[in-house]
Chain A
Amino acid sequence: MIGADVAAFIEGPLMILASTRDSAGRAYIARGSGVRFDRATGRFDVLVNASLWPEVVAHAVQGEPVAVTLVRPNDYRAYQVKGWIKDVAAVSEDEQARGRAYVERMLEVMGELGVNRVQLSHTLTDWDLVCISFVPTDLFVQTPGPGAGARLVQS
């Protein structure tokens, strides 16, 4: 589903959005605090702050759908990954460290683009994290432009 090119992209500095929905079809919004794609198992993990984004976490239930959008801020290249949730759990020490490293890295990257820490104060957080895991079933190009939303065919 996710080829080497996109897998490499996922390992870069990205802004992350995540969404789950309720039974009425209302979608909820969260900012991600780090992602990880395991090329061997195809498992995709997104870290989310449960205090800031309680609705997304509340509706992150095994078997329910989830969407994650990943944007590289320096060139707006973006993908959206979708799938069905396998697992939701409090973060491990390694995952907590990954969340902390993600925030530090993105503060640096965004700072170079002229976005200051006050502007990012509610966007990049590394506390009260949970890990939502799923296996992607859909991958879309999300880069702004006429091709945005196109389903990506991976070789």
Chain B
Amino acid sequence: MIRLWGIRDAFEGVIPSVVATTDARGMPNISYLSHVHYVDERHVALSNQFFSKTSENVRHSGMATVMVVDGRTGQQHILHLRFTNAVGEGELFDRVAAHLTVTSAQQGMGEIMKLRSLDIYEVEDCRPVFGPAVPGAKEAGQPQHHHLAAAARICNVISAQVDTELMLDCALAELQGLLGYGNAMVLVPDGEGARLSTIASRGYSTFGFGSEVAVGEGTAGLAASSRRPLRISDFRRGQRYASAVREAAGSEVVSPIPFPALAEPRSQLAVPMLVRGRLMGVLFVESERSYAFDHNDEEALSLVANQLATSLLLAEQERPESTAEPQISGRSSRAAADRPVHVRYFPRDGGVFFDGEYIIRGLSGRLLHHFISAFLATGQADFFNRALRREPSLQLPDFKDNLETRLILLRRRLEERGGPIQIVRPVRGQVRLECAGRCEIEVG
């Protein structure tokens, strides 16, 4: 019997799988099915929402025959299955449900298919269908990279970096250089766990720092909510997810920052960045090619994602503080210009607008409001992490405060936008506001 592990790339469903069963009269029934899911070396799971005759037949005979197809090479395998049980919950169920949710939505099927149950089968036999030798098929099935070696090298690069921003950018650069991921981004969760914000990106026309996706939506959002890698091999009718920015009650409609994304992705892979069970972010790659990512990519990216998560957590916990007291400079490091800047702040969600243009919200928005307010009130332009953590208006928790990533997000968002208000980080643990305009703040 062929090892199932060796044919995992056939468990994709892009070239549909086939299932055949026999009814009580002995009449065969044959149909396509959405997915065959690898469980372990002796088990697979079938999910199909429209399975009436097949399910009835399986309940009668206990048998099913399945054919899976490797989307890269066309190689087909026949599996003889025997039904064992149905599951409606658990890790496997959740993984399959997440995959179904994103594929059905991305394929423009309107209503998201809800997985009701998953049928588990024992694999009694697995054999290849011996077809003709086809030029190009062998090459198509060969991995393009040595994934484990690449992942190890990228993890080493990440762990050697002391600067968090550099670490994020180096990770994406290495992913492109060693694994060929030309379009990649890192997204980090907000304090409430409702949204992910782009903190680093590579390969797009804009960085899109601060752009958001809702947790639970799209490939990256579902990887965050399910805490599992999510790989889509072929969006035949690729329909992009727009970032969903919920309008806060009492505020005007927010114009989201354009999300850095391919117009027509064929493949996407999103991997949660986890450390000690905590979601630190999502590492996301996509491609205009079908089948750009396989299981090797998923596993390599998982190693890199968790190394990133660990390094981000350490950056958060190290808290290197300058022993110097904050210096009240009286003016920013830039000469204040006459240009007026109307800053509008919404305390409810921390949303900040400059001259009617949405800038950022959440903790990053509260930080920006705090910097500008302090500067206007006292001329203070330098701020220290230690003091920020004690500042009640920022509502930072005692731990898991995300201050480091939110400051990076804010700095990058302001830099990408350009304009008279910027922040710089002259030394670790310190932030400096550079304000080359006459700010006035309106609250609410």
Q: Which residues of A contact B (CB under 8 A)?
A: 17-21, 25-29, 51-53, 65-69, 71, 78, 80, 82, 113-115, 117-123, 125, 138, 140, 142, 144-146, 148-149
- Most interface-central of A17, A65, A71, A118 (chain B CB within 10 A): A118
Q: Known contacts being A27-B20, A119-B71, is A17 close to B290, with CB within 8 Å?
A: no
Q: Known contacts being A113-B236, A125-B131, A144-B50, is A119 close to B15, with CB within 8 Å?
A: yes
3 shortest interchain CB distances as A-B pairs: A122-B131, A27-B20, A121-B134
Q: Are B53 and A149 neighbours in the complex by a CB distance under 8 Å?
A: yes
Q: Known contacts being A118-B136, A119-B71, is A65 close to B63, with CB within 8 Å?
A: no
A101 to chain B, nearest CB (A): 19
B134 contacts which of A113, A118, A144 (Cβ < 8 Å)?
A118
A66 contacts which of B28, B78, B132, B134 (Cβ < 8 Å)?
B28
Given contact pairs A65-B26, A121-B137, a sample of 4 additional A-B residue pairs in the complex whose CB atoms are under 8 Å apart: A19-B28, A25-B63, A26-B63, A121-B73
Q: Are A69 and B30 neighbours in the complex by a CB distance under 8 Å?
A: yes
Q: Are B74 and A121 neighbours in the complex by a CB distance under 8 Å?
A: yes
- Bound complex: CA A48 to CA B64 (Å): 21
Q: Are A118 and B74 neighbours in the complex by a CB distance under 8 Å?
A: yes
Q: Are B30 and A18 neighbours in the complex by a CB distance under 8 Å?
A: yes
- Most interface-central of A26, A27, A114 (chain B CB within 10 A): A27
Contacts of B73 in A (CB 8 A): 118-119, 121
Q: Are B29 and A19 neighbours in the complex by a CB distance under 8 Å?
A: yes
Q: Are A80 and B22 neighbours in the complex by a CB distance under 8 Å?
A: no
Contacts of A52 in B (CB 8 A): 129-131
Closest to B109 in A: A144
Q: Are B52 and A149 neighbours in the complex by a CB distance under 8 Å?
A: yes
A120 to chain B, nearest CB (A): 6
Closest to A65 in B: B27
Q: Are A125 and B30 neighbours in the complex by a CB distance under 8 Å?
A: no
B413 to chain A, nearest CB (A): 37
Taking CB atoms and an 8 Å cut-off, the chain B residues in 63-94 that contact chain A are 63-67, 69, 71-76, 78, 80
Q: Are A119 and B31 neighbours in the complex by a CB distance under 8 Å?
A: no
B105 to chain A, nearest CB (A): 16
Closest to B133 in A: A121
Contacts of B243 in A (CB 8 A): none
B18 within 8 A of A: yes
Contacts of B15 in A (CB 8 A): 115, 119, 123
- Bound complex: CA A82 to CA B137 (Å): 35
Q: Are A123 and B22 neighbours in the complex by a CB distance under 8 Å?
A: no
**A-B pairs with beta carbons under 8 Å apart, 11 shown:** A19-B29, A21-B22, A29-B20, A29-B65, A52-B129, A67-B30, A69-B32, A114-B236, A119-B15, A120-B74, A148-B52
Closest to B234 in A: A114
Q: Mark B1-27, 1 if CB is under 8 A from A, else 0.
A: 000000000000001001011100111
Q: Known contacts being A28-B20, A115-B15, A149-B53, is A122 close to B30, with CB within 8 Å?
A: no
- Bound complex: CA A78 to CA B71 (Å): 22
Q: Are A146 and B50 neighbours in the complex by a CB distance under 8 Å?
A: yes
Contacts of A27 in B (CB 8 A): 20-22, 28-30, 63-65
B253 within 8 A of A: no
Question: Number of residue pairs across A and B with beta carbons under 8 Å?
Answer: 121
Q: Are A69 and B31 neighbours in the complex by a CB distance under 8 Å?
A: yes
B140 within 8 A of A: yes
Q: Are B132 and A21 neighbours in the complex by a CB distance under 8 Å?
A: no
- Bound complex: CA A78 to CA B73 (Å): 26
- Most interface-central of A28, A66, A82 (chain B CB within 10 A): A28
Contacts of A18 in B (CB 8 A): 30
Q: Are B130 and A29 neighbours in the complex by a CB distance under 8 Å?
A: no
- Bound complex: CA A117 to CA B74 (Å): 9
A82 to chain B, nearest CB (A): 6
Q: Are A142 and B31 neighbours in the complex by a CB distance under 8 Å?
A: yes
Taking CB atoms and an 8 Å cut-off, the chain B residues in 41-77 that contact chain A are 50, 52-53, 61, 63-67, 69, 71-76
- Bound complex: CA A66 to CA B28 (Å): 6
Closest to B291 in A: A119
- Bound complex: CA A69 to CA B18 (Å): 10
Contacts of A122 in B (CB 8 A): 69, 74-76, 129, 131-132, 134
Q: Mark B134-162, 1 if CB is under 8 A from A, else 0.
A: 10110010000000000000000000000
B127 to chain A, nearest CB (A): 10
- Most interface-central of A52, A66, A120, A149 (chain B CB within 10 A): A149
- Most interface-central of B63, B71, B129 (chain A CB within 10 A): B129
Closest to B71 in A: A119
A67 to chain B, nearest CB (A): 4
Contacts of A68 in B (CB 8 A): 30
Contacts of B63 in A (CB 8 A): 25-27
Q: Known contacts being A122-B76, A123-B74, A146-B50, is A29 close to B18, with CB within 8 Å?
A: yes
Q: Are A121 and B29 neighbours in the complex by a CB distance under 8 Å?
A: no
Closest to A73 in B: B16
Q: Are A67 and B29 neighbours in the complex by a CB distance under 8 Å?
A: yes
